[in-house]
Amino acid sequence: MAANSIQEQLMKGYDEKHDYDGLSGERVASRLAELSAIGRTIENGSNRPGFSLEEKQAKEKVSAWMRQAGLAVYQDGAGNIFGRLSGKSDYLPSIVSGSHVDSVPNGGHFDGPLGVLSALEVVEAWKDTGYQPEKPFEVVIFSDEEGARFNGGFNGSEGMLGLGNMEEKLLLRDALGMSFEEVLHDVGLSVAGYEKAKRNLDEIEMFVEVHIEQGKRLEKENLPCGIVTGIAGPCWLDFTFDGKAGHAGNTPMNDRHDALVAASEFILEINKLPRQISESAVATVGKLDVKPNGVNVIPGKVTLSVDIRDIYKETRDELVERVIALGSVIAKKHDVLVGSVENMRVNPVPIKEEIQLAFEKSFRAKGIRPYKLPSGAGHDAMIVGGELPIAMLFVQSKDGISHNPDEWSDLNDCVQSIHVLKHFIESLQPHG
């Protein structure tokens, strides 16, 4: 799908009644389409890995739009782009809003860019209506959120906060064997500059991120957007069930130590646990390795991975403990051994209740029923939220599709969401 056809498709069902208070659906559609042309794949997806020339080109295009809108634009040592609008009281901490423009290989055209362009459209609307906020406002493009380059993202937001282990980053290699240092150099950055990207966080009051939902809840509710209650922190565990391989024909059913039967019951029971603990908790087994993996051999060893998430640390950790205990119970039942290894545990980031309530007021002001939902996926807001107050707005995703060329959000939903964002940011002003 060509860039102009993306714009045409976005505009096709657009209701121009949403063009008010300086917002322009056509401008949003045009800019989404222009960004979609950078790193376009044969399948009409996006391919803009973090710290790639394609990501840099997309940043440069948005930077030009920022300058046209009257923003003072600068880049930090991590490659993050900031466009600053001075406030009437410019000494006050900034409200910062934005997202990223990098993508997964053959990804969609809304994941990331919509958040950046939403924040920029707020500035465009203020410019058109002659409004200047009391507090400074910044539009941000974070580098390398998706992590497609090194199988681990958030390098931009981590750089801004001075987080992340630099020794570990320097050991990273991409699929072509390029090191983190070489990749930075390729786009005009340096390790020394990255290490100096840490921002004085006293300069920032709050970070607000608009992002596509990447799920179906808003579509089922027939709502353009929703209020994110928190960002789930994942815990990844590897379990190994050790049984005894044997001949499938000569070993009677009552004398087996079948690792796969034990693992299968474990997977089935895991599926029941989250709802017993929390409405927002989830647990997934998405990777399984069976050995010897022969059609006529009783499985002797099964290794599987469990992804456990919740937006609340206490309930997430309780679920982790329940899953580990479940493994022991089932292993004993089937007379096999079980062991587990924890590979990752990231703290969830719940969003403050008062921030959610402020968003509710903006929803009602725009005639949209407030609907709250958790984020199961990680975002730059998750990294920033460990140090600063955050707010997050989800935009409806068609069929819940994401990280795929078919990823789509209706322009009517996008623009209504930007109206909510604009009202919310204005409500944060001393006289908002």
Residue 380 and residue 112: Cα distance in Å, rounded? 10
Residue 59 and residue 105: Cα distance in Å, rounded? 18
Indicate the annotated binding residues for Zn(2+).
100, 111, 146, 211, 403
Indicate the annotated binding residues.
100, 111, 146, 211, 403
Helix axes 259-270, 313-333, angle to 10 degrees: 150
Cis peptide before 105 (omega within 30 of 0): no
Written as one string, the DSSP assignment of 373-406 is EEE-S--HHHHHTTTS-EEEEEE--GGG--SSTT
Q: Residue count of the chain, please give it.
A: 432
- Whether the CB-CB separation of 367 and 331 falls below 8 Å is answered with no
Q: Which strands sit side by side in the sheet containing 301-310, from one edge to the other?
A: 282-291, 301-310, 233-242, 337-345
Tokens 């399984």, located at residue? 288
Give the contacts of 114 (CB within 8 A, at least 6 positions apart).
32, 99, 210, 211, 212, 395, 409, 414
Residue 123 and residue 39: Cα distance in Å, rounded? 27
Residue 49 and residue 397: Cα distance in Å, rounded? 22
Measured in whole angstroms, how far is the alpha carbon of residue 137 from the centre of its chain? Answer: 22
**Maximum Cα–Cα distance across the chain:** 84
Residue 385 and residue 231: Cα distance in Å, rounded? 9
Residue 216 and residue 6: Cα distance in Å, rounded? 22
